[in-house]
Amino acid sequence: MYPVKRLDGSTNFHLMDFKISATVIQDQAVIGSTADAGGGHITYAATNSRVDMVGSVAGASSSNPDGGGAGTLTYSATQGDTEGLVRVYVNPDAVYRALMNGGTTNGTALQVVTTTGASANGTTITATDTPENDLDDGVCFCLTGANAGLSRRVTTFTANTSWVVTVPFPRAIAIGDTFLICPFSPLVTIAITLTSDLVAADATVAFGSGGTARPLMLVWNGATDSYVDFVARDHVFNELS
Amino acid sequence: MSLTLIVPGNWSKVDQLLSRRFPRRKATIPPASWVEELMEKRFGCLMICNPCSVKYRDGIQRWGYARHPDMKASGNACDFCKKAVPIMALYFKEEHPYPDQQQYAREKEKWLRGYSAHQFQTRRTN
């Protein structure tokens, strides 16, 4: 995940260098360290929790006397080792873009759902190979078929059977049309689960599960290059709790 | 008009401690070398002010850093000259590896038949 803009539409970011309490990698979500924990000031988030989120890692700090470098930035409490300093975007209103994945591993393609039933009124997507978790209130995107390129909010979801949209697709849905579906709805979703490396989003979890986040926009391209843009709901400088 | 440098003659204890805590670049290391070393260590994201981006353009290109067209840093100090600048461009390490000699040769064959190879070798290959 990386910031693409701020809520005021600008792309001016404030970057700060922080001491780390744990080894982190570039583009990883980081949170503020809690009292009496760790030797630094920030640490990595969790896949399902981003309380006191600080931002995402841009790289190593140039103030680090012995370098460090992009990639894995190592934390060490051993005398003589390089102090771990990383550069982080700290704007509370930064809009982060995360790749949507079809699993917990970053780089997993989204599941392409192929319809097994037709829908003349364009409201029901019938398929036996849908994702397992409840994606009610998520968003589906037509990949191929007469409605290719259009998306709709899901209002009823039954795993491995069908899902329904309230606002119909403009053209009939035919057997063999393909769709993508995710649990993220702009302004509606309140949580996003990250992949195991804390760099991208896991789009297979149930709607509303994960760490606090508010999606702003979905960028649909295909199974391997669709993104969710979101804002941290619980930022270290704008705390929810 | 000649330039006059005013160097403090008496350094207080605080000054001495601060100078130890934040050592400056050694006089034996030229600024360009320090900047090159910084880029060589692959920091991933550098904030470089406009004058420095022109001054060290050659090194920035050789080490594969590219200016992001949109993203800016506001309220930070330049990584090279350490001067605070209101808005600076962000330079990211490009993800692809540096082109090797074979790739340069292919490029030359493809696009630049008849030109000298050295004219297009703008990046380090090791």
pLDDT of residue B4: 72
User: What is the rounded average pLDDT of the residues A224-239?
Assistant: 91
Which of B26, B36, B45, B67 to mutate to test binding with chain A, by most A CBs within 10 Å of its CB? B45
Please state, in angstroms and rounded to a whole number, the distance separating the CA atoms of residues A112 and A175. 14
Which residues in chain B have Cβ-Cβ distances shorter than 8 Å to A86?
Answer: none
CB distance A31 to A236 below 8 Å: yes
Which residues make Cβ contacts (< 8 Å) with residue A175, sequence separation at least 6? A115, A116, A117, A118
Q: Which residue has the higher pLDDT, A146 or B18?
A: A146
User: What is the rounded average pLDDT of the residues B54-78?
Assistant: 87
Which residues in chain B have Cβ-Cβ distances shorter than 8 Å to A13?
Answer: 71-74, 90
pLDDT of residue A66: 60
Q: What is the DSSP string of A6-48?
A: ETTS--EE-EEEEEBSS-EETT-EEEEPPTTSSSSSEEE-BTT
Is B19 in a helix, a strand, or coil? helix
Dihedral sign, Cα of residue B70, residue A74, residue A235, residue A63: negative
- Output the six-digit token pair for B16: 């001495």
Residues facing residue A117 across a β-bridge: A126
User: What is the rounded average pLDDT of the residues B105-121?
Assistant: 58
Domain residue ranges of chain B, discontinuous segments joined by +: 31-95, 97-126
A136-140, A196-200, B6-10, B110-114: which range is least confident on average? Answer: B110-114
CB proximity A9 to B under 8 Å: no
Which residues in chain A have Cβ-Cβ distances shorter than 8 Å to B38?
Answer: 62, 67
CB proximity A238 to B under 8 Å: no
User: What is the rounded average pLDDT of the residues B9-33?
Assistant: 76
Domain residue ranges of chain A, discontinuous segments joined by +: 2-94
Q: What is the pLDDT of residues A23-75, one digit of tens each?
A: 888 889 999 988 888 888 999 899 999 999 999 999 888 776 565 555 567 78
CB proximity A26 to B under 8 Å: yes
Q: CATH class for domain B31-95?
A: alpha beta
Which residues make Cβ contacts (< 8 Å) with residue A216, sequence separation at least 6? A7, A95, A186, A187, A229, A230, A231
Radius of gyration for chain A, computed over Cα atoms and rounded to the nearest angstrom: 20
Q: What is the pTM of this model?
A: 0.79
Which residues in chain B have Cβ-Cβ distances shorter than 8 Å to A67?
Answer: 38, 41-43
Please state, in angstroms and rounded to a whole number, the distance separating the CA atoms of residues B64 and B36. 12
Name the residue of chain A whose CA is nearest to B75's CA.
A14
Q: CATH class for domain A2-94?
A: mainly beta
Beta carbons within 10 angstroms of residue A114's beta carbon? 16
Has residue B109 got a pLDDT over 80? no
- Output the six-digit token pair for A69: 């470098």
Give me the phi and psi of B118, to 5 degrees please. -65, -20
Helices (H) and strands (E) in chain B, counts: 5, 3
